[in-house]
Amino acid sequence: MSQKELINAITEMREIDALRIADDLLESGTDPLVVLDACREAMAQVGQGFEEGEHFVPELIMAGEILSQISNRAKPYIEAQEGAEVAETRGTVVLGTVEGDIHDIGKDLVAFMLDVNGFEVVDLGVDVPPAKFADAAREHDAQAVGLSGFLTLAYEPMKGTVQALKDAGLDDVKVMIGGGQVDEQIRDYTGADAYGRDAQAAVRLAKQWMGG
């Protein structure tokens, strides 16, 4: 069993195979961080496939599910290691669905894609008031804030949140917005720095803003 086989199983969405290979690797004494690295590589490939129109929501969710199961299995092995290294993050993004909107699927996909691409994600959940975004951005020293909203009712809260960040003196924090009815017109209206069509666009923006 090799990391290569694990990567293939994940990118081909073979859940049972992937879990079995991960178990075999862990049980046979492979460094759990090496196993997780293989998962990260697989996720990067899935993300790439998403960007190229080869993978879609089912594949992101399935790959995420496999990753989460393998992470749980690897955890006891990592805890057994002395002084395991914590992976460095590329930067911190505060993320949430704006006030009045309780949809979470789009936001969760963005959180997942940012996370597997090495960003620290502070997920505030849904129906998040503007002040909470500002507080979290300050508390976590975030470089960017991501605002999600599925419905047209998200437009005003998005604008209000951009304003709340400015009012809090967080002018350096970049704001990205996204969702079903969000486009350049709404970016302009809300005063956000950028909008993204999908989770991969969020990754591109985060890399552009924070390097990597």
* Residues near other proteins (CB under 8 A): 13, 15, 53-58, 61-62, 65, 100-103, 105, 127, 151-153, 155-156, 180-183, 185-186, 188-189, 197-198
Nearer to other proteins, 13 or 33 (CB): 13
Nearest one of 22, 54, 28 to 40, comparing CA atoms: 22
Nearest one of 117, 39, 26 to 73, comparing CA atoms: 26
Pairing of strands 92-97, 144-148: parallel
The distance of closest approach from Cβ of residue 98 to other proteins in the complex, given in angstroms and rounded to an integer, is 11
The distance of closest approach from Cβ of residue 49 to other proteins in the complex, given in angstroms and rounded to an integer, is 10
From its phi and psi, is residue 95 left (phi > 0), alpha (psi between -120 and 50) or beta?
Answer: beta
Nearer to other proteins, 91 or 130 (CB): 130
Asked whether 106 and 150 are in contact (CB, 8 A), the reply is yes
Asked whether 145 and 130 are in contact (CB, 8 A), the reply is no
User: Encoding tokens for residue 117?
Assistant: 């691409």
The distance of closest approach from Cβ of residue 58 to other proteins in the complex, given in angstroms and rounded to an integer, is 4
The distance of closest approach from Cβ of residue 24 to other proteins in the complex, given in angstroms and rounded to an integer, is 21
Nearer to other proteins, 32 or 157 (CB): 157
Nearer to other proteins, 62 or 170 (CB): 62
